[in-house]
Amino acid sequence: MARAGVMRPDQIDAFFATLQAANPNPRTELVYTSVFELLVAVLLSAQATDVSVNKATRRLFLVANTPQAMLSLGQQGLEQQIRSIGLYRSKARHLIHTCQLLLQRHAGQVPRLRAELQELPGVGRKTANVVLNCAFGEPTMAVDTHIFRLGNRTGMARGKTPLEVERKLLRRIPAQYLGDAHHWLILHGRYVCQARKPRCSQCLVQAHCAYPEKLTIPA
């Protein structure tokens, strides 16, 4: 394993080539069938697991999977549908307002411009990046806790803020991997390079990583 430091370009290339070979078509674990459903699922996923979001949206999308249908539920009706998710009241409020803006400004469609996405309540840079990448195929990097950890731990993109890590990842990851890199990193951080105890012995890319197995780096 490489010494702790910054990953070299050849290591980064090998890192993603290995992940690509193991999982050629990575996808988000959120379940959706439209861009609007994806936006709703991502908004609900803040401080919640994908599993819990999928359980809630499985019920919700049966009765409301368009902005108008969600508005027809009303905030209280929406709260009842998503009450199993943390912060459900504030999320319901944001979703109702988002649906209003989608109808008023975008004819009920989810916009594909970052600035317009980030004008929607509850949509920050990370959420916008997820929608741009998953729905519209843009080579963006939604830096969540997993990707922030991996960027710093592996030496691929060290930074003190999510934006700093995002910019370094976009600059350092080879272009041929950028479309799927967001998914590979999230899945790797979720199931292998975990916060408290990374599973280095089970890691397919440990030979290309600048994280020494003998050290324990706080999450």
| Domains identified in the chain and CATH numbers | 9-27+140-208 (1.10.1670.10), 35-134 (1.10.340.30)
At 212, the pLDDT band (50, 70, 90 cuts) reads low
pLDDT tens for 106-149 read 999 999 999 999 999 999 999 999 999 999 999 999 999 999 99
List, for residues 172-182, the tens digit of each pLDDT value: 999 999 999 99
- What average pLDDT is seen over the chain? 92
- Mean of pLDDT values over 156-164: 95
Q: Which residues are catalytic?
A: 126, 144
> Residue 160 class from Cβ within 10 Å (0-12 exposed, 13-18 middle, 19+ buried)?
exposed
Contacts of 209 (CB under 8 A, 6+ apart): 1, 2, 7, 11, 15, 153, 154, 155, 203
Q: Which amino acid is at 178?
A: L
How confident is the model over 183-205, as pLDDT tens digits?
Answer: 999 999 999 999 998 998 899 99
Q: Provide the CA 115 distance to its chain's centre, in angstroms.
A: 18
**Residue 123 Rama label (left phi>0; alpha psi -120 to 50; beta):** beta
CB-hemisphere CA count at 13 Å for 47?
8
Place of tokens 């997820």: 130
Task: Please state, for a pLDDT cut of 70, what percent of the chain lies above it.
Answer: 95
